[in-house]
Structure 1
C-alpha cells in the first residue's frame, strides 16, 4: 500500500510539473499568434488559458515572482537536506506546511521535523538562542568567506555557553548555572 501511495504522489508531482510546462507552452503559442494581429482574448480562449494569466506570464517572463523564488528555494533546501541529512529536514513556517512542500518531501522519501502550527513552546529555547545569535553576531559583522562564518559561529556558541550571563539564570552563563544546579 505504501509503495502504491508513493508512486501516486510521484505521479501527482510529475503531473503538476507537466501542467505547468503545458501552460507555459500555451502562453508562448498565444504570444506567437498575437503577433499576426489576432485578438488575445480569442487566442486565450482557444488555448484554454486565462487572459489575466497570459498577461502575468508576459510580465514575469524575465523575472521570477516572490512565490516562484520561494518555491525554488524550498526545492533546493529539500534536495540539500536529502543529500546531506539522509532524509530528515526541519523547518517551520507557512511555506513548509504547503501541500506542494509535503509532496516534495514524500517524493524524496524525507521526513519533516517541525512542531505543530501555533505551538512554539517546544522550541522556545532555540528560538531565543537564534534571536540573540542574529542580533549579537550575524547582524553586526560581515564575513569574507564560509570559513570565517563558521569560525564566528563556533566562537559565539562558546561565548553564549560559557561567558554570556543571562538574567533568567540568576546572571550566570548556561554552563555555570548547570554546574550550580547539578
Structure 2
C-alpha cells in the first residue's frame, strides 16, 4: 500500500512543528491537493498563517524547497534501496538530522538550517515583543 500525503496529515505535522517552534508568518505551497485541502485551510485560519500559493507551473517561486527536494533525492533516496517503510524512515531521519544540524548552507549565511531557524525565531520573538510593548 502506498502512502499519500493528505491535508489532514500536513495539518497534523504542522501542529507538531508549531508546538515546539514559533508559528510561521506565512507558508509558501504549490498546488498539490494536500495544500488545497479544507483541513490545511482550517489549520492555517486557526493559527493565523497565510498560505501563499506559487503560480502554477512556476516552481522557481519555491526555489528553496525545490533545491531541498533535489538534494534529498540525490543524497538519500537515489542511493538507497529500502527493504521496508521502516528502513526508509530510519535512513531519511539520519539524513535529515545531518542536513539540519551538520550541513551549513551559503544561502543561509553559512549557518546550518537549525542555526538559521534559531536565529530567526529569536528575531521574531524580539520583534513581537517590541510591537506589543
TM range (shorter): 0.3 to 0.5
TM-score (norm 2): 0.48
Tell me which of the two structures has the higher relative contact order, counting C-alpha pairs closer than 8 angstroms and 6 or more residues apart: 2
